[in-house]
Amino acid sequence: MKPKRVLHVIDSLHLGGAQEVVMNIVNGANRERYVHEVATMHGRGIYWDRLAAQGVPLHSLSPHKLVPLYVPALAALLKKGAFDILHCHLIAANIVAKPIGAACGVPLILNHDHTNDPKRGDVAWLLALDRWANGFAQHHVAVSASCRDFLVSREGIPPENISLVLNAVDVARFQPQRTHRSPGAPFIAGVGRLKAQKNFSLFLEVAALVAIRHPDARFLIAGTGPEEQHLRSEAERLGIAERVTFAGYVADPRTIYEKADLLLMPSNFEGLPMTLLEAMAMEVPVVASRLDGIAEVIDDGVDGALCTPGDASAFVTAINHLLSDSAARTAMGVAAREKVLSRFSARRMVDEIEEIYDRLLP
């Protein structure tokens, strides 16, 4: 049987959890049944090289997001490629690609919902546009129950048209390496785009307070983004600049998890963050905001610690407790790894995605 042709369209191939999900789907695909290609709305990005190294055909629809060549470029690509499935990721790709796919006669169009960005719900015109574009999709994939609930309550999508497919990680790649962790100064890491969603400003505020009790503690922020200069200035203002390393983009996050005692995630909103699952897979205890997909994954006090979003004192209390109790940290990390193995493996996610393909496009 001739394999089905799948085109993934995503806003960008820069650093992000949705990009990691796309790579896991493509890498884990049953290649006898599905052939995957990936198109980014503009430019290239970090994941361009990663996907290219796997031999995945790639397409950049516009040289820059301010040069909107997406419409003619995507239409031409869809016509030329004769794709059976158009799989759309992130807001801009969902809005632009779905109506073009419908106009080009793509048999199956999927909307993959990755995050609970409040902008989509709070900005009336964006919500209206997103709801309009959703009418061109035959089915929707939600990465967390909170994402699914948003699609039902705010987007008006019938529950039966949504499949819950939890994000997942390559558990063979992300394995614990305790031998790399030194018994010396506590090391607390944060990983993600330097933007308001991830709330690294609170990360720094918490770091300054933790340092009062643990004066030898060190902190690392891995990622790039528009808030970098502001965050560097905040570290200076808080008097912790010498304690905080801004590592920029780290190609292999395992090098961070191998050395970290804790991962701190004070996010303002999420879908189901890949960083959370990666750290858990490597037995790194996570202290995170009690919201969205994070709260759906972590059993507070068992395989992670949950704190009221924005409450610096709650994060400090949780971190100080774990830094003072190595046995509790170890037990939490082991429990986290066990949960990821049982529920969040990439193999499970790919199987569920391909089951949707099979069911909707026999």
Write the pLDDT tens digit of every residue in 198-256: 999 999 999 999 999 999 999 999 999 999 999 999 999 999 999 999 999 998 999 99
Does residue 173 belong to any structural domain of this protein? Answer: no
Give the residue numbers spanning the domain of 349: 4-168+345-360
Same domain? For 216 and 320 the reply is yes
pLDDT at 81 over 80: yes
Over residues 277-295, the mean pLDDT reads 96
Same domain? For 336 and 354 the reply is no
Same domain? For 184 and 159 the reply is no
Same domain? For 222 and 335 the reply is yes
Write the pLDDT tens digit of every residue in 65-78: 777 788 999 999 99
What is the per-residue pLDDT for 120? 72
pLDDT at 1 over 90: no
Does residue 66 belong to any structural domain of this protein? Answer: yes
What is the per-residue pLDDT for 318? 98
**Nearest CA to 96 among 79, 83, 109, 82?**
109
Same domain? For 53 and 156 the reply is yes
pLDDT at 157 over 90: yes
**Nearest CA to 263 among 240, 241, 294?**
294
- 207-216 LR contacts (CB < 8 Å, sep 24+): 207/238, 207/240, 207/243, 207/244, 207/264, 208/238, 208/239, 208/240, 209/312, 209/313, 209/316, 210/316, 210/319, 210/320, 210/323, 211/240, 211/243, 213/320, 214/186, 214/320, 214/323, 216/184, 216/185, 216/186
What is the per-residue pLDDT for 251? 86
Confidence of residue 258 (pLDDT cuts 50, 70, 90): very high
What is the per-residue pLDDT for 10? 97
Whole-Å CA distances, 38 to 25, 113, 135: 11, 17, 23
What is the per-residue pLDDT for 181? 60
pLDDT at 358 over 70: yes
User: Among 36-45, 170-179, 295-304, 353-362, which stretch is predicted with the lowest mean pLDDT?
Assistant: 170-179
Over residues 327-350, the mean pLDDT reads 96
pLDDT at 180 over 60: no
Does residue 97 belong to any structural domain of this protein? Answer: yes
Same domain? For 159 and 286 the reply is no
Confidence of residue 178 (pLDDT cuts 50, 70, 90): low
Same domain? For 38 and 115 the reply is yes
Does residue 312 belong to any structural domain of this protein? Answer: yes
Higher pLDDT, 271 or 35: 35
pLDDT at 183 over 70: no
Same domain? For 123 and 239 the reply is no
Same domain? For 104 and 250 the reply is no
pLDDT at 7 over 90: yes
Same domain? For 62 and 80 the reply is yes
Same domain? For 60 and 186 the reply is no
What is the pTM (predicted TM-score) of this model?
0.88
pLDDT at 276 over 90: yes
Domain count, the chain: 2
Does residue 304 belong to any structural domain of this protein? Answer: yes
What is the per-residue pLDDT for 256? 96
Write the pLDDT tens digit of every residue in 299-336: 999 999 999 999 999 999 999 999 999 999 999 999 99
CATH number of 21's domain: 3.40.50.2000
Same domain? For 85 and 199 the reply is no
Write the pLDDT tens digit of every residue in 293-305: 999 999 999 999 9
